[in-house]
Structure 1
Amino acid sequence: MGSSVKKVLVFAGSAREASLNKQLAKLAAKRIEALGGEATFIDLKDYPCPLFDEDIEARGVPENVLKLREILADHQAVMIASPEYNGFITPLLKNTLDWLSRPYQDTPGLKLFAGKWAALVAASPGGLGGIRALPLGQQLLANLGLVVLPQPLSLAKAGSAFNDSGALHDETTGQKLDALCQRLVDSLAATH
């Protein structure tokens, strides 16, 4: 792969099959591709990890954590769609990031994240669109050493926001998603 390739790892902080955030993440991946980036969508349901525990880690890092580490290492940015649970990011998202931020062999903790770009989106069937969890997600990603883009997208009333082809009914919201995806692709282009 040449250095001009702008690879973005896209996933949702939900394992649920019919997750609105998974739907939003898949749409974001398509938009990143359309805007000149290279997106890889993964479903965290395919990589179940135990709740982080140093005793488990001492017995050997779980195989799915190692797979996720390998995938993350191959990308220069992440786009995460985070549901909101009681005003916070999901335990699944936090646990996944906790495992990935651990030192492993000769790789220091946080090395996998250092200097990568990040963008956040959130979808909710309610009127707030997951907006309370977004600043917390941004703070966590910044703590991990990622360069987090401002102005995340929140999608309210997401249960009726998508058409049959998976695009957004509302043109303005679609333009906001495109603008965020474009900023992510442009940020990568400027640094690679």
Structure 2
Amino acid sequence: MTKTIGLICGSLRKNSYNRMIAESLTTLDDSAQYRWIEISSLPFFNEDLESDGSPESVASFRAAIQDVDGVIIVSPEYNSGITGVLKNALDWASRPRTSSVLNRKPVGLIGATPGGFGTAFAQMQTREVLEAMQVNVLPFQKMLISQVHEKIDSQQKVLTDESTKRYLQRYLQQFIHWIDQAPVPVLD
């Protein structure tokens, strides 16, 4: 059965390298379907908003996550950490705690940066947040794309580096296969 993968970009920037990388995923492996899960319209997390009934943008965001088999988060790193918009989105997805839409959902992490370390620090922090939410994060795999500005044609907004394309293809194939292998909870 064809898997549906949700794509979340942890950047709101118009010409985000990470959005370009996420967009390239949709062309690298046609064994899955891909859907964007947008986070730009989410309000800042506030339990008061939640107790008054979640805003429509939050309900749509949660429904989009619920409707996919797995999620790949493609995000930059800001000041050696997770982006604010991504953390906000994860906070909304984690609620209500007893029925989080990400609970046990397979999630993969990819990140790109013009710097030399990829997004190692941000991915480590994101992984910690997701594990606290009891999310099944693809183990042992880090997809860190450094010097991304040299691997993308910014005018065409496409990934041009063949080695990175092959690496992303292998990552996608492993993630899609892993969706069916993701561990089941020992305790609920």
TM-score w.r.t. structure 1 length?
Answer: 0.85
| Residue pairs, 1:44-123, within 5 angstroms | 44-45=39-40, 48-103=41-96, 108-110=98-100, 112-123=101-112
Percentage of pairs with the same residue? 30
For 2:147 and 2:110, locate their aligned partners in 1 and report how far apart those are by CA, in whole Å. 14
Query: How much is the aligned-residue C-alpha RMSD, in angstroms?
Result: 1.8
* Residue aligning to 2:150: 160
TM-score w.r.t. structure 2 length?
Answer: 0.87
* Residue aligning to 1:141: 130
For 2:88 and 2:145, locate their aligned partners in 1 and report how far apart those are by CA, in whole Å. 24
The number of residues matched between the two structures is 179
The superposition leaves residues 147-188 of structure 1 with CA deviations (integer Å, 9 ceiling, x where unpaired) of: 21122211111122113461332x222221111100111122
Identify unmatched segments of 5+ residues in structure 1: none
Retained in 2: the 8 A contact 1:29–1:41? no
For 1:70 and 1:188, locate their aligned partners in 2 and report how far apart those are by CA, in whole Å. 19
CA deviation after TM superposition for structure 1 residue 21, in Å: 0.8
Retained in 2: the 8 A contact 1:6–1:189? no
Aligned: 1:42 with 2:37: yes
CA deviation after TM superposition for structure 1 residue 41, in Å: 2.3
Retained in 1: the 8 A contact 2:37–2:65? no
The superposition leaves residues 128-157 of structure 1 with CA deviations (integer Å, 9 ceiling, x where unpaired) of: 222221111122222222221122211111
* Residue aligning to 1:130: 119
CA deviation after TM superposition for structure 1 residue 190, in Å: 4.8
The superposition leaves residues 42-97 of structure 1 with CA deviations (integer Å, 9 ceiling, x where unpaired) of: 3433xx12211112222221110000111111011000111111111111001011
Identify unmatched segments of 5+ residues in structure 2: 183-188
For 1:31 and 1:146, locate their aligned partners in 2 and report how far apart those are by CA, in whole Å. 25
Retained in 2: the 8 A contact 1:9–1:72? yes
Aligned: 1:21 with 2:10: no
AA aligned opposite 2:99: G
AA aligned opposite 1:145: Q
